[in-house]
Amino acid sequence: MNVFFQSLLSGVLVGGVYALIGIGLTIIFGVMRVINFAHGDLLMLGMYVTWGLFTLFNIDPYLSLLITAPVLFLWGALLQKVFINRVLDALPQNQILLTIGLGLVMSNAVMLGFTSDYRILTTSYSSSSFRLFGLSVSEPLLFSFLVTVAITGALFWFLQTTDTGQAIRATAQDRDAAQLMGINVKRMSVLAFGLGTALAGIAGALLAPTYYIFPQVGGPFTLKAFVVVVLGGMGSVVGATLGGILIGVTESLSAVYVASGLKELVVYVLFLLILLFRPSGLLGKSRT
């Protein structure tokens, strides 16, 4: 029974980080209908910024969030202004090719600059834990989870109550109508892409103290982010949160009760089953 709760706990905590990655992707999709295949590479950039700040200036990875998030926000906004904006009205496959291309350029540029060596951040708490009701709780993972909860909460508040947040949601609901109501949809797009990039960067920073960092680290996370977002319903922030935790828990439990090597398989089978019965995801509204 202890094993069950232990893996449930680590599943929920890891799922929190998956959710954060998914939320970034879902905001970008929601506002612009652009599927961002460079999402994992943006996460990788977040990891490298964190690693750089830690090794050069000895800034704690969690503290460096205050730098990583704005830097990534500006980078995302720049990408949007220079590249993505030009293809907003293009065919979806062109948009996909553009984002894949951007991702490749980013990961290969990092490889050129930093080689493809694995970097490992060692902090005093990289393997710390404390015990709670007989379960061991990983300190860095718990902290990442709390940061995720705080950021998701703040984001929700921002989207629901502030004027800008409402404008972003209006753009997501209907771009043309929002423009007719006097919303600057181009600015909203820049904001949304910046926000999504910042969230990916934060997720990267949160993973950095416990995981390892290399230029191609993004690929698997892009894929995971898609599963999370599609599962929760494209464009739904709450759905992505739910999807992230669901994936985390499924991975964790299937490693225990099926086999460690098969956890991905279980995740994708579950994913297919949910899509069979709810084609628009758990919380997605089907568009007609």
Partner 1 sequence: MKKPMSRILSAVIASALALPGLAGAAPVKIGFINTITGAEAPIGETMTNGLDLALEDLKKQGLDLKVIRQDDTGKPDKAISAIEQLATGDEVTAVVGPYTSACANAVAKQAEQYGVSEVIPAASKEDITRQGYKWVFRVNAPAHVYARSLIDAALAFGKPKTVAFIYESTDFGSSLSKVGKEYAVSKGLKVVAEEAYQKGSPDYRSTLAKVKGQNPDLVFMVSYVADAILLMRQSRELGLKPQAFLGGGAGFDTSQFEGERDISTNVFSVTQWTPDSRPSAAAFAARYQARFGKRPTYHAACTYTSMMVVGAAVAKGGADRAKVREALATGSWQTIMGEVKFQAYDGFNNQNKVAMPVVQYQGGKSVTVYPPAVAKAKAVYPFPGWK
136 binds partner 1 (CB under 8 A): yes
144-183 footprint of partner 1 as x/- string (CB under 8 A): ----------------------------------------
> Number of helices and strands (H, E) in the chain?
11, 4
Residue 284 tokens, joined: 């997605």
Q: Is 253 in the site for partner 1 (CB under 8 A)?
A: yes
6 scored as a contact of partner 1 (CB under 8 A): yes
Please report, as residue ranges, which positions from 216 to 245 form the binding site for partner 1 (by CB under 8 A): 220
User: For residue 130, what are the β-bridge partners?
Assistant: 137
What one-character DSSP code corresponds to residue 282? S
- Residue 127 as a binder of partner 1 (CB under 8 A): the answer is yes
Name every residue whose Cβ is closer than 8 Å to that of residue 215 and which is 6 or more positions away in sequence.
Answer: 44, 107, 108, 110, 111, 114, 116
**CB of residue 9 vs partner 1: minimum separation in angstroms?**
9
CA dist 137 and 69 (Å) reads 26
The angle subtended at Cα 105 by Cα 83 and Cα 75, nearest 5°, is 50
Q: How far apart are CA 59 and CA 80, in angstroms?
A: 29
Asked if 118 is part of the footprint of partner 1 (rule: CB under 8 A), the reply reads: yes
Is residue 111 a contact residue for partner 1 (CB under 8 A)?
Answer: yes
Note the residues at the interface with partner 1 (CB under 8 A).
Answer: 2-3, 6-7, 10-11, 14, 17, 111, 115-118, 120, 122, 126-129, 131, 136, 138, 207, 210-212, 214, 220, 248, 251-253, 255-256, 259-261, 263-264
